[in-house]
Amino acid sequence: MAWLSLKLAVDGDQADALSDALMEAGALSVSTEDRDAGTEAEEAQFGEPGLADPKSWKHNWVVALLDGDADVPALLASLNLPEAIEYQVEAVPEQDWVRLTQSQFDPIRISNRLWIVPSWHETPDADAIAIVLDPGLAFGTGSHPTTRLCLQWLEANLRPGETVLDYGCGSGILAIAAVKLGAGRVVGVDIDPQAVEAAQDNARRNAVQADFRLSGDLPEGEYDVVVANILTNPLKALMPLLAARARPGGRIILSGILEAQAEEVMAIYSAAFEMRHAAVDEGWALLTGTRK
pLDDT tens, residue by residue, 204-226: 999 999 999 999 999 899 999 99
Q: Check: CB of residue 188 under 8 Å from CB of residue 169.
A: yes
Q: What is the pLDDT of residue 45?
A: 54
- Shortest CA distance to 210 belongs to which of 168, 165, 250? 165
| Measured distance CA(23)–CA(92) in Å, rounded | 18
| Measured distance CA(229)–CA(166) in Å, rounded | 8
Q: What is the pLDDT of residue 280?
A: 95
| Measured distance CA(146)–CA(4) in Å, rounded | 32
| Measured distance CA(129)–CA(178) in Å, rounded | 11
Q: Which domains does the chain have, with CATH numbers?
A: 3-94 (3.30.70.120), 99-291 (3.40.50.150)
User: Model-level pTM greater than 0.75?
Assistant: no
| Measured distance CA(224)–CA(24) in Å, rounded | 51
Asked whether the predicted pLDDT for residue 1 surpasses 80, the reply is no
- Going by pLDDT thresholds of 50, 70 and 90, the confidence category of residue 80 is confident
Asked whether the predicted pLDDT for residue 134 surpasses 80, the reply is no
The string of pLDDT tens digits covering residues 138-181 is: 556 667 899 999 999 999 999 999 999 999 999 999 999 999 99
| Measured distance CA(266)–CA(285) in Å, rounded | 11
Cα angle, residue 92 at apex, residues 16 and 15 outer, rounded to 5°: 10
Task: Give rounded-to-5 percent helix, strand, coil for the chain.
Answer: 30, 30, 40
How far, in whole angstroms, is CA 275 from its chain's centroid?
Answer: 23
Instruction: Tell me the percentage of the chain whose pLDDT exceeds 90.
Output: 57
Instruction: Determine the average pLDDT of the residues in 52-67.
Output: 78
